[in-house]
Amino acid sequence: MKVVGVIPARMASTRFPGKPLAPILGIPMIEHVYRRSALSRSLSAVSVATCDDEIAKVVEDFGGEAIMTDACHERCTDRVAEAMEDRDADIIVIIQGDEPMVRPEMIEQAVQPMLEEPALDCVNLMAAIGDPRDFHDPNEVKVVCDTRGYALYFSREPIPSEKKYGKPVTVYRQVCIMPFRREFLFTYTKLPPTPLEIIESVDMLRVLEHGYRIRMVLTDYETCSVDTPGDLEYVEQAMKNDPLVGRYAR
């Protein structure tokens, strides 16, 4: 099966404009995401889907592939679908451009269930939340699952409730590595947006609200998505001793 990674990226982030080109250890964030993703044995190709010439130029300058897309997309899934419309792939892995600590093993963890189970249309990674501040941070998308590991709901609010249980409970956040079967990605983009998707501003709720399922896969790798300049500072400190950086730093 042909598995490709696509990194959607745009300059006009509402929370942190221009963040794909923000430097981390002297390297643009988008380059970290690209190079670390390209180390995955699961992927036969990696590209960046963008509507911004600035991002495309940076990607091409470091030897990556950039695919230009329309500027009108509000959802990363729509941008990726346009980028892959005329390209061959069995599985398309969406890798968010604000995950500079992504590890190649995480991509392999996300893809493996789809290789083993032909009926799976979509997989998401998730990770346990250790810091209570992250549990209450609206930039972190939380997820709850059923007993078989399928997503029940995603929210930017703290779920499940802490108030009624009163005992320690493991809570999880979505990690934005999302493999789709090619045909299902295009099915998804043709589905009308749904109320909960709009309320929560979480793409994956459209899948659930239309009656499809998402298999969640737990990863033990610790990462931090960059939503604010403060996140960028934290990530730069965390990556200073990351041996993976040495495999691609120029």
Domain boundaries, the chain: 3-223
Query: Percent of the chain having pLDDT more than 70?
Result: 100
pLDDT of residue 49: 97
pLDDT band at residue 154 under the 50/70/90 scheme: very high
pLDDT of residue 224: 87
Contact 244, 39 (CB under 8 A): yes
Q: Cα separation of 235 and 230, whole Å?
A: 9
Dihedral angle, C-alpha 149, 152, 156, 161, nearest 10 ° = -90
Q: Average the pLDDT over 75-86 and give the result.
A: 92
pLDDT of residue 73: 84
Q: Average the pLDDT over 108-118 and give the result.
A: 96
Q: Cα separation of 191 and 56, whole Å?
A: 29
Q: Average the pLDDT over 4-33 and give the result.
A: 92
pLDDT of residue 172: 97
Contact 30, 97 (CB under 8 A): yes
Strand 3-9 and strand 91-95: pairing?
parallel
pLDDT of residue 91: 98
Q: 3-223, which class in CATH?
A: alpha beta
pLDDT of residue 168: 84
User: 217-231: string of b/e by CB count within 10 Å (b at 16+)?
Assistant: bebeeebbbbbeeeb
Alpha helices in the chain (DSSP H): 29-38, 53-61, 76-84, 104-116, 132-135, 182-190, 195-200, 204-209, 229-239
